[in-house]
Structure 1
Amino acid sequence: MQTQEKSFEVKNLIGGRWEERDGLETEPVYDPATGRVIAETPLSTEEDVERAVGAAKEAFPSWAATPVVERARVLFRFKMLLEERFDELADLVTLENGKDTKDAAGEVRRGIEVVEFACGMPTLLMGETVRDVARGIDNVSWRYPLGVVAAITPFNFPFMVPLWTAPIAIGAGNTYVLKPSERTPLSAQRIGELLFEAGLPEGVFNIVNGAKEVVDAICSHPEIKAVSFVGSQPVAKHVYELGCAHGKRVQALAGAKNSMIAMPDAVLEKAVPNIISSAYGNAGERCLAGSVLVAVGTEEEQDRLVEAVKEAASAMKVGPGYEEGSELTPLIRDSHRERVRSYVDLAEEEGAEVVLDGRKPPVEGGFFFGPTILDRVTGEMRVAREEIFGPVLSVVRVRTLDEAIEFTNASPFGNACSIYTESGAAIRHWRERIEAGMLGVNVGVAAPMAFFPFNGIKNSFYGDLHATGKDGVRFFTENKVEIVRFYSDPDDVGPSVAYPEEAGA
């Protein structure tokens, strides 16, 4: 991909029609690699949400009554279109988010995998039956769509996260309202275009762009039955509380502070590149980033690990995502870069040792921040406890695995934790005691496949049913349980029934 000078027009999609912004205030969308404004996101209002929900409500009865195999065929066609436009979609992610082409392609692939999973909806919606729960009585359960549902998605995965929910929700027979991040609305718009090219009826998939007013309107609208959210912990808590207060089913995926525990027997030549990828991939702007490296062992063993990580991080190529070989790409906004810088300043004040300093922008233009390593961080420091969401790796030194587990479990977050070791005994000991929902063994980004739940716990998740996998299907459907008994004799056929021979066939 080369730099793009093209500008984009961001529109709401309501009832199958792309709407002009009609005087709405806007927020700029930047190319993070250059700082150039490439679009303006309309900041929609509560009235826009009302119209989108109205369109979705109107479309629901017909879509819910569409046979599930026909709904699945729309998803199969959609999946085909995504494959055909794979490179275009990855380039769009790089343009609006800034991540490198490899990460962008990985994001598109992960989104498509959820579509593939949702194509199995005829099987996923199968109920359960037990015959003869009592004499002559059978028990059956059926899965039904909820109605109008909504998703509020983040800037860091503008293509993948909308697809965590949209294919499952509409495949199950719901109609859907999406509020993408106002910082990265372009991928969501392309998803809408391709869904309708695949044959999705008008009103089934709607987009309302905006900020807090749209979020609050979605969470409080009486016709929206369920809300899925991915974003920061404070906003996740707000969405969960507001949505639940209005009687909604809510899944709110929140922040993280993920530890990577490196044991003395870790295979450094394999572990270090993996640690670097986890800490600095997508500039650290992902909720599965390994942001704390817990070095277990003697001081000599710890020094060897820190030196190896520092050497690898120092060698990273910092540059735009569309340039070949770029490994560390820009942050999403200059304001966010300042926030990340403030955490490094704070770490220094709190006594951490800045062994690799990325505060001076290594590339002119755009929102770049260099790879940063903070050594000898302690659990009392804010950089050890709070989500920075940038290319900053904090190193905590401990003597034993139990100390590493104790440090990790003290975090209010519980998204993911990884361990680097060849010891099966250490892995089992860690797995049984660690408080995190997604675990990686010699894997720094413990992202589950589409048919498993994205399984954060503690303050990394608010709700009961997680996104993706069978949890996602359960979240967007309701059970009806039926008990069946018949009194009539099987030979007692009513007069309205004519057999072929009696009808002269």
Structure 2
Amino acid sequence: MTQNVPRLQHLIDGKLVDSQSQQWRDVVNPATQEVVARVPFATPDELEAAVASARKAYQGWRNTGQGTRMRVMLRFQQLLREHTGELAELITREHGKTLPDAEGEVGRGLEVVEHACAIASLQLGEYAENAASGIDVYTLVQPLGVCAGITAFNFPVMLPCFMFPLAISVGNTFVLKPSEQDPSASLRLAQLALEAGVPPGVLNVVHGGPDIANGLCEHPEVKAVSFIGSTRVGTELYRRASNAGKRCQAMMGAKNHCVILPDADREAALNHLVGAAFGAAGQRCMATSVAVLVGQAREWLPDFIERAKRLKVNAGTDRQADLGPLVSPSAKERVERLIAQGVQEGAELLLDGRDPKVPGFESGNFVGPTVFAGVKPGMAIYEEEIFGPVLCVACVDTLEDAVAFVNANPNGNGVALFTQDGGAARYFQNAIDVGQVGINIPIPVPVAWFSFTGSRGSKLGDLGPNGKQAVQFWTQTKTVTARWSAHGKGVNTTITMK
């Protein structure tokens, strides 16, 4: 029964607004199947109201001083610190990840807000005095207008932080559509931004599904769209936004590899691999889903299996748990289907995490650590992003073989190398065709003042979130060529400036 379950509201023009929608979705605790909230799928009028509010607020906000915008971000980052526990509990309740992992997610989002606090220096233009005689040339870094963000379920705080803090800091207004699977943390995040001083209309939140995402991509008032999620959805949204003549960045699917050389620190490499493969139940776009063991490192596999067996599977509210549940029953069914398909295709199932026993949470969407060996290209478990706690293991003879193996995969989100050989690391970082590289770092998501730089099949659009690329994505450059002189020097019909 859902009569007494909280009904989530939209955030439009600085106010929480009841939806008039006839279409609602249950938000379910994945550890218990308890309905914890109901989320509306916005009507076309509600989407229009959010965009209209952002459009109305734009001129006033873009002309607000950089110092004022910076101080809003300073207050926002303080509120994020103070409300980390609250946000983490919302994440765990609706997504399922463990509380420590959820707190870490808020911390990564906080990094971006802290970076946005430096907007006064990030939004600087360039100036050249006397670029030609008596002529000065300078650039203005200006906002675009109304912008939008569409986020996946796996990071309901971090992903919105990858979008709206920098977007509004440079003077844009924003409409956010969070995932309908776990929207409460995203909505609360936006409320904290308004509490920090973001004016009404500058940041709006509308809930919904594909129709709202498509509507934002095609709306004539929206100038730029950021999407982080699956390849299938991202490709379609990018097509819609591009066809509508607007900027779009789409960070999409992945198949991240971890290459381990036999000279690596064995203890560190195996522990990092366990965490990167199975943390957040594998529901990270940067999760390590393929281990490539080089040479004698293949002998470490039994040790890895023993470490994986010791991980604790439980509800995310258990602070000693290593893995929580998957986000939904359908996600669990998909992961289990791919595990069965891996067995059918001839991969060796060394550790089977299906149907773990979790006392008190028998109806939860749990899958334990799962490991396949003998995985080859062409197998479904290698070709598809499983998005669960499943590690595929391949063995090769040389580092060059490992580089060729990774580069043959169509995705290019992240990759890691474990070694104590600086020469091998330098060769790897230059030869590998992947956007984000970790050297003895298993999940190489860069700090927020560097850009998130996935490549190939994992990214559409030239510019990624965070860092300098994000500032470029959310702004346009205007170049001014100016002459101020007391007397003209006659007619000049050439294009030369002297």
Partners of 2:292 and 2:39 lie apart in 1 by 41
Q: Percent of counterpart pairs with the same letter?
A: 42
Residues 1:422 and 2:420 aligned together: yes
Residue 465 (structure 1) aligns with:
463
Residue 308 (structure 1) aligns with:
303
Partners of 1:348 and 1:230 lie apart in 2 by 31
Residue 133 (structure 1) aligns with:
131
Instruction: Classify the secondary structure of the residue corresponding to 1:374.
Output: strand
Structure 2 residue identity aligned to 1:94 = T
Instruction: Classify the secondary structure of the residue corresponding to 1:235.
Output: helix
Partners of 1:71 and 1:351 lie apart in 2 by 57
* Correspondence for 1:328 among 307, 323, 331: 323
Residue 32 (structure 2) aligns with:
34
Partners of 1:338 and 1:361 lie apart in 2 by 14
1:182 Cα shift?
A: 0.3
CA contact (8 A) 1:259 1:416 kept: yes
Residue 490 (structure 2) aligns with:
none
CA contact (8 A) 1:43 1:211 kept: yes
Residue 387 (structure 1) aligns with:
385
Partners of 1:488 and 1:89 lie apart in 2 by 61
Partners of 2:288 and 2:152 lie apart in 1 by 19
Partners of 1:166 and 1:22 lie apart in 2 by 26
In the alignment of these two chains, the number of paired residues is 481
Residues 1:318 and 2:316 aligned together: no
CA contact (8 A) 2:19 2:46 kept: no
1:397 Cα shift?
A: 1.1
In 2 relative to 1, CA 23–251 (structure 1 residues): closer, same or farther, beyond 3 Å? closer
Deviations 1:50-72 (A, max 9, x none): 11111100010111111111111
Instruction: Classify the secondary structure of the residue corresponding to 2:449.
Output: coil
Residue 372 (structure 1) aligns with:
370
Residues 1:159 and 2:157 aligned together: yes
Partners of 1:410 and 1:8 lie apart in 2 by 48
Structure 2 residue identity aligned to 1:84 = E
CA contact (8 A) 2:116 2:165 kept: yes
Partners of 1:293 and 1:46 lie apart in 2 by 46
Residue 503 (structure 1) aligns with:
none
Structure 2 residue identity aligned to 1:409 = N
Structure 1 residue identity aligned to 2:266 = L
Residues 1:85 and 2:80 aligned together: no
1:45 Cα shift?
A: 2.7
Residue 441 (structure 1) aligns with:
439
Structure 2 residue identity aligned to 1:225 = K
Partners of 1:335 and 1:61 lie apart in 2 by 44
TM-score between the two structures when normalised by the length of structure 2 = 0.95
Partners of 2:287 and 2:50 lie apart in 1 by 35
Residue 412 (structure 1) aligns with:
410
CA contact (8 A) 1:362 1:370 kept: no
For residues 126-275 of structure 1, the aligned pairs below 5 Å read 126-275=124-273
Structure 2 residue identity aligned to 1:193 = Q
* Correspondence for 1:359 among 354, 358, 373: 354
Residues 1:482 and 2:487 aligned together: no
CA contact (8 A) 2:100 2:319 kept: no
Structure 2 residue identity aligned to 1:353 = E
Partners of 2:397 and 2:155 lie apart in 1 by 37
Partners of 1:82 and 1:360 lie apart in 2 by 37
Residue 114 (structure 1) aligns with:
112
Partners of 1:285 and 1:49 lie apart in 2 by 29
Partners of 1:199 and 1:443 lie apart in 2 by 37
Partners of 1:359 and 1:429 lie apart in 2 by 39
1:380 Cα shift?
A: 2.3
Structure 2 residue identity aligned to 1:309 = F
Residues 1:341 and 2:336 aligned together: yes
Residue 289 (structure 2) aligns with:
291
TM-score between the two structures when normalised by the length of structure 1 = 0.94
Report which stretch shifted further, 117-126 or 27-36.
27-36
Instruction: Classify the secondary structure of the residue corresponding to 1:446.
Output: coil
1:31 Cα shift?
A: 1.1
1:30 Cα shift?
A: 1.2
RMSD of equivalent CA atoms: 1.2
Partners of 1:131 and 1:348 lie apart in 2 by 69
1:7 Cα shift?
A: 4.8
Instruction: Classify the secondary structure of the residue corresponding to 1:430.
Output: helix
Residue 493 (structure 1) aligns with:
none
Partners of 2:86 and 2:50 lie apart in 1 by 28
Residue 497 (structure 1) aligns with:
none
Partners of 1:14 and 1:398 lie apart in 2 by 55
1:9 Cα shift?
A: 2.9
Instruction: Classify the secondary structure of the residue corresponding to 2:207.
Output: coil
Structure 2 residue identity aligned to 1:346 = Q
Deviations 1:183-242 (A, max 9, x none): 010011101211121121111100110000001100100000000000001111111111
